Structure 1
Amino acid sequence: MAQDRRRATHLSEPEWRPRAAEHRARADALTAGHRARRQRGETHAVEDFLFTYYSCSPAELRRWHPGAGIVLHGAAEERGAWRHYTTVDGTDARVDLTAYFAKRGGTVDYVERLLSATLERPPRFGCFGLHEWAMVYRMTPEELRHRSLPLRIGHRETDAVVESHPIACTHFDAYRFFTPAAGPLNELRPTRESQSAMEQAGCLHAGMDVYKWAAKLGPIVPGALLLDCLVLASDIRRVDMRASPYDVSSFGLPAIPIERPEGKREYARLQRGFTERGNGLRERILEAITTARRVHAAVAA
C-alpha cells in the first residue's frame, strides 16, 4: 500500500518528462496560428480574442504542471525558479502549496464559490447570443470594435433585431460591453459583486471563462485540464462570432442567423453541448482545488 501511495505522488524523470513534452507539443499546435500571425503583424478578429482578452500567453500555456501533491524527480534545476514551486531533497520539485495559498488563497476561494454556484444553478438557453448584438446597438461603422468586419444584415436591421427581442444577459463581462443605448434594454443588471449569484452554465461567455479560471489557478491545475479548457473556449468563441451580427464568412465560418427560428434552434443546440462540456471542466477544476486543499492541510499538519 505504501508503495502504491508513493507511485501516486512521485513521478520519475522517465515518467514526467514525456508528459511535459507531449503537453508542449499540444500547446504549440493550439497556438500555432496566433503565433504565426503575430510574427507577420497580422490580426484575427475571431481567434485572437483568446490571447488578448485572456491573459495566459502561449509561453505560459507550454508549461506543464502535474497538479498539487506530485513530486517530480530530477526537476529541481528546471523548476526551482518557477513561481509557486519549491525544491525537494535538492534534486526534485513540487508545487509549494504553502506559498501558493498565501498568495492565491483569495483567488482559489472565489473561483471555487463561482464554479460551485454555476454548477448548482439551472442553465438558461433562451439568450440566443444577443449580447453580441447589444454590443453594437446604434453604433456607427467607425465605432465598431471589429471595424474590418461588415455587419451581416446591416446597421438598421441589426438595431431592429435588438429592439424586437427580449435580452436577458446574466454575464457581467458581456453586459459591461453593451452600448449605452442597449444597457437599459437588458432585463437584468449583472455586476461583478453579483457574479456568483447570477452566473449560469448556459452562457457562452461563462463557458469561455472556464479557461480563465483554470489559468488563474496556475500550477494546481494539471496541464491537460488547462488545455482542455482552452479548446472549449476556442470552440465557443467561433460559435459566439458566428451568431453575432458580424459577417465572419471570410474566416470560413458560416453564420448562425439567430434572428430567424432555425438560427435560434441551432444556437440553443450548440449551447446545450457547451454547457455539458463546460460543467465537466468545472467539476475537474473543483477536484483540482479539493486535491490542493487536502495536500496543503496534510503538509500543514
Structure 2
Amino acid sequence: MTGIDVLTEEEWRAREAVHTRRMRAWTEPHRQRRSRGEKHPVLDFLFTYYSFPPARLQRWQPGPAVVLAGPGARRFLDRPGYRETADGVLLDTSAFSDRLARTARYTLSLLEAVHGRQARVDCFGLHEWAMVYRTTPEQVRHAQVPLRLGHSGTDAVVESLNVRCGHFDAFRFFTPEARPLNRFTPTRESQRELDQPGCLHVGMDLYKHAYKLDPFVPSELLGDCFALAADIRELDMRASPYDLSDYGYSPVPIETAEGRAAYARAQAEFARRARPLRERLITLCRSLLTLQGGHSSC
C-alpha cells in the first residue's frame, strides 16, 4: 500500500462527527427499541442477521494509510491495531493478520466474480414468500406480523410464480416444501458462481464484507454500505408477504404484474447503486492484500 494521508485534528474530528451522527440515525432507535423490548421486522435485521455491534458501527475508523495528527488522536491508541509515529497515530500494518488476509482474499474473489456479471432482476423477492410456504401461524418467521394474503393466498403465489433465488443465505431459510420449487439449489460452495449483482441480498451483503475487514475499512465506506443495506431491506420486506402497514410501510405487491414491474425497477436501481461500492471494496481488498504479499484473485 503506497501513500500516506495526514489529517489534521480538525479534519479527522469533522469526519468522525459526520459518521457518528449518520449512523446514530439507525443505532439510537435500535437501542431504544431494545430497551423497551420491542421488535422491528424490517430494521432489526440490520443488527441481528448482520452481527456487527451498533457501537462499533458508529465508531469512526480512518482506514489504512491515514495518519491522525494532533494530541486528541492518542485516544485511538486504546484501540487494537493503532500505533504512534512522529506525525501522529495510524493503523499498524502488522495488525493486518493472517485471518484478515484470508477474509480479504475470499471477499475479493467473490466481489470480482459478481462484478463481472449482468444484473438479473426476475426473482421478484419470492425468497421471503418461500420462507413461509406451507407453514403454520406458529412457524412464521415474523409471527407478530400478519400475512397480507393469509397462508393459503401466500402459498398460491409461490406456486403460481417461478422461484429463482440463487443466493444461499436466503435459500437456506426456505421451508422444506419450498426448496424443490426453486430453479437453483445454491450452496456455500457455489456462491461464487451463483451470486449476481441484481440480487437484493448480494447488495446488502456488501455491508457484511465491509465490516469483516474492520478496522481496516474506512468508516465512510462502511457507512455507505450500511445505508444501502438499510434501503434494500425496506424493499425486501415491502415486497414480502407480510402486512407491514402498522410500521408505516406500503406493500410492493409482487403477486400482481404491476408490483413485479415496480420491484424489478427498484432492484435494477439498487444494482446500480451497489456497483461503485463494490468497486471501492475491491480496490480496498487489493490494497490490503499487498500488506502480506497477496494478489488480486484466488
TM-score above 0.5: yes
Q: 2:82 aligns with which of 81, 85, 99?
A: 85
3-state SS of paired residue (2:197): coil
User: How many Å separate the matches in 2 of 1:13 and 1:226?
Assistant: 21
Matched, 1:153 2:149: yes
Shift of 1:115: 0.9
Shift of 1:243: 0.5
Matched, 1:228 2:224: yes
Matches within 5 A, 1:1-301: 9-73=5-69, 74=71, 77-89=74-86, 92-294=88-290
User: How many Å separate the matches in 2 of 1:41 and 1:27?
Assistant: 21
Question: Once the two structures are superposed, what CA deviation does each residue of 1:30-77 show, in whole Å capped at 9, x if it has no partner?
Answer: 322211111222111111110011011210012211121111124663
Contact 2:105/2:289 (CA < 8 Å) preserved in 1?
Answer: no
3-state SS of paired residue (1:218): coil
Contact 1:199/1:206 (CA < 8 Å) preserved in 2?
Answer: yes
3-state SS of paired residue (1:152): coil
User: How many Å separate the matches in 2 of 1:256 and 1:21?
Assistant: 36
Question: Once the two structures are superposed, what CA deviation does each residue of 1:225-248 show, in whole Å capped at 9, x if it has no partner?
Answer: 111111111111111111001111
Contact 2:9/2:73 (CA < 8 Å) preserved in 1?
Answer: no
Please, which moves more after superposition, 109-118 or 73-82?
Answer: 73-82
Number of equivalenced pairs: 291
3-state SS of paired residue (1:47): coil
Q: Give the structure with the larger helix fraction.
A: 1
Contact 2:101/2:292 (CA < 8 Å) preserved in 1?
Answer: no
3-state SS of paired residue (1:123): coil
3-state SS of paired residue (2:215): helix
Aligned to 2:296: none
Contact 1:122/1:200 (CA < 8 Å) preserved in 2?
Answer: yes
Shift of 1:209: 0.8
3-state SS of paired residue (2:201): helix
Please, which moves more after superposition, 112-121 or 24-33?
Answer: 24-33
User: How many Å separate the matches in 2 of 1:280 and 1:247?
Assistant: 33
Contact 1:68/1:288 (CA < 8 Å) preserved in 2?
Answer: no
User: How many Å separate the matches in 1 of 2:279 and 2:202?
Assistant: 14
Shift of 1:296: 6.2
Runs (5+) with no aligned partner, structure 1: none
User: How many Å separate the matches in 1 of 2:17 and 2:249?
Assistant: 32
Runs (5+) with no aligned partner, structure 2: 294-298
Q: Indicate how the Cα distance of structure 1 residues 75 and 222 shifts in structure 2: closer, same or farther if over 3 A, else same.
A: same
User: How many Å separate the matches in 2 of 1:87 and 1:179?
Assistant: 53
User: How many Å separate the matches in 2 of 1:261 and 1:21?
Assistant: 45
Question: Once the two structures are superposed, what CA deviation does each residue of 1:11-38 show, in whole Å capped at 9, x if it has no partner?
Answer: 2222212211222111212322211111
Contact 2:204/2:233 (CA < 8 Å) preserved in 1?
Answer: yes
Shift of 1:295: 6.1
Shift of 1:98: 2.2
3-state SS of paired residue (1:220): coil
Question: Once the two structures are superposed, what CA deviation does each residue of 1:99-135 show, in whole Å capped at 9, x if it has no partner?
Answer: 2143311000011111111111121111000001100
Contact 1:211/1:229 (CA < 8 Å) preserved in 2?
Answer: yes
3-state SS of paired residue (1:10): strand
User: How many Å separate the matches in 2 of 1:83 and 1:30?
Assistant: 25
Contact 2:207/2:229 (CA < 8 Å) preserved in 1?
Answer: yes
